[in-house]
Structure 1
Amino acid sequence: MPATTSSPSSSSRTYRLEPGPVTLYAQLAGILRERVKSGVWPNGAEIPTLEELAAEFNVARVTVRQAMQILMKEGLVSSQRGRRTFVTYTPAEDKNPLFLSINMVSSVTPRYEITIISRDNVPESYLGDPYMGKARGPYMRIRKVDFEGGEPYSVSTHFVSLPIYKRFGKVGEEQVKIARLVRDKSRGALHLCHERVTVDAADLEESQLLKCPLSAPVARIRRVFLDAKGDILYYALLTFRSDRFGIERDTTELIKAG
């Protein structure tokens, strides 16, 4: 017999669904997905009925059914005729953060996968307002999603100086991290590498691509590689799921006598 979940209202945060650009059932699917993946509803547990969830979130029963259908398609829950719905999701064994520092650009595992969303040749104005360096195009703009074990953890937009991009070759951005390719194909032109990290809330597109709730916390990284003249050879805007992001650094200098 599957285990029975505790009352959601007593074991998870309270969310408020509001009409807007994101449908109510998509908002609800994001909330329920978080309950599954966070372990509030563990593997094998029966989840509340459609009626109970409809009452909890003050939505129609059909809205809950549509949300549950999304989770079923993702393999997170399962339902059989005449039986209640139960959790089928098994969390990954390794829940350590995947991103630690800029030195991790070369670190991948056999479960690492890349999905390219788009590529296009763009002028320097498309970089917007980089916080460091001077844009000097044209650039190849690449949008992609990174996965680990089938789970998305990062969505990103990359601007690569076109001469460097043309050196990527057959083993390109579909198999290797772009920062590593830029490093390896820059022919010694890299002079300075810098990152800025901020914390924000996932927008609609990010929540859909990263499979996280709308407005869930995310880490945003702006990464820039400059040449000796201060021209931007590579500029990236990366968004990481909060549960797959972490930073480690040596802070020994803080305890040394002045």
Structure 2
Amino acid sequence: MSQQRFRRDGTPLYMTVAEVLRQRILRGVWKPGQFLPTIEALMKEFMVARVTVRDAVKILEAEGLLDPRRGRGTMVLPHQPPTRPLSVVTSLSQLVDLYRGDVPDLVSLDDCETDLPEGVSFGTAAPKYHMLRRIHSRDEQRYCVIALYVAKHIFDRHEPALRAKLALPVLFDDPELHIETARQSLIVTKCDMETAELLDLTVGEPMAEVRRIMCERDGTICYLADVIYRGDYIRLDMDLLA
């Protein structure tokens, strides 16, 4: 890292250092009761000024991960990791099974008829969609924001269930819906101001943006979901010999 106060992408350096320290703590590199390396050692490792390290430590102190102790150093505090990391699976059936029977808390943000978002290059749009944008939580921890687009004629058929449950199992079990193709893409990015407020994060923390698209036999998109996950709730497992 350079000694500039900001990285090239505009992220303050102290937030970048805080994220590296946070991930080391959550992965168990430093366990509860242990002390972090000295400020001087962290300054040397990250090539930053003293104030940058101190500001990073303050962030983690406010999160309850660190306890700076005058004359002794900075101690790692006991903490609870995410209780149910979400696996990023690589088949539709696995994805449905992952969510089947799961009933997270749902907080509605938007609920309206609309068109598909711009930039969709796969499949053919239906005449109209119903969009549900909401926050999903588990154990009082908000873990994702999802914008869900369902073709209007399908949404009308399952409206009560789609408002109360996760959408994929509902649609997958519909005998009248014949899904011919399904795609999922994932990119890792950084948290913006709006997402930070919605998911109780700090601006600049890592998050995963996932887009899922399902098409019927004629190529019409019946389902599209744009999902933003907390970075600490995502785990990618792949069988490389499958």
TM-score (norm 2): 0.69
Give the corresponding residue for 2:129: 138
- Summarize the alignment of residues 81-230 of structure 1 with structure 2, pairs less than 5 Å apart: 81-90=70-79, 92=81, 98-100=87-89, 101-103=91-93, 104-107=95-98, 113-114=104-105, 116=107, 118-121=109-112, 123-144=114-135, 150=141, 152=143, 155-165=145-155, 167-169=158-160, 172-173=163-164, 176-183=165-172, 188-192=175-179, 194-198=181-185, 200-205=187-192, 208=196, 209=199, 221-230=210-219
Change (3 A) 1:169 1:200: closer
Give the superposition deviation at 1:147.
Answer: 5.0
Separation in structure 2 between the aligned mates of residue 29 and residue 172 of structure 1, nearest angstrom = 38
Q: Percent of aligned pairs with the same residue?
A: 24
Give the corresponding residue for 1:30: 19
Change (3 A) 1:91 1:113: same
* Segment drifting more, 66-75 vs 32-41: 66-75
Instruction: List per-residue Cα deviations over 1:159-217 (Å, max 9, x = no partner).
Output: 123454454437835xx323224445xx5332115433445332343995596995969
Separation in structure 2 between the aligned mates of residue 94 and residue 66 of structure 1, nearest angstrom = 28
Task: Confirm or deny: 8 A CA contact 1:202 1:216 kept in the other structure.
Answer: yes
Task: Confirm or deny: 8 A CA contact 1:204 1:214 kept in the other structure.
Answer: yes
10, 31, 51: which one aligns with 1:42: 31
More strand by proportion, 1 or 2? 2
Task: Confirm or deny: 8 A CA contact 1:190 1:226 kept in the other structure.
Answer: no
Instruction: List per-residue Cα deviations over 1:22-75 (Å, max 9, x = no partner).
Output: 222222211111111222222322012344433433333333233222222333
| Letter aligned with residue 87 of structure 2 | L
* Segment drifting more, 67-76 vs 85-94: 85-94
Separation in structure 2 between the aligned mates of residue 111 and residue 134 of structure 1, nearest angstrom = 29
Separation in structure 1 between the aligned mates of residue 192 and residue 210 of structure 2, nearest angstrom = 17
The answer for unaligned runs of 5 or more in structure 2 is none
Q: Secondary structure at the match of 2:87?
A: coil
* Segment drifting more, 68-77 vs 101-110: 101-110
Correspondence 1:59 to 2:55 = no
Give the corresponding residue for 1:9: none
Separation in structure 1 between the aligned mates of residue 65 and residue 114 of structure 2, nearest angstrom = 42
Give the superposition deviation at 1:235.
Answer: 0.7
Give the corresponding residue for 2:237: 246
Separation in structure 2 between the aligned mates of residue 117 and residue 61 of structure 1, nearest angstrom = 43
Separation in structure 2 between the aligned mates of residue 151 and residue 87 of structure 1, nearest angstrom = 24
Q: Secondary structure at the match of 1:134?
A: coil
TM-score (norm 1): 0.65
Change (3 A) 1:135 1:164: closer
Change (3 A) 1:125 1:233: closer
Separation in structure 2 between the aligned mates of residue 111 and residue 53 of structure 1, nearest angstrom = 42
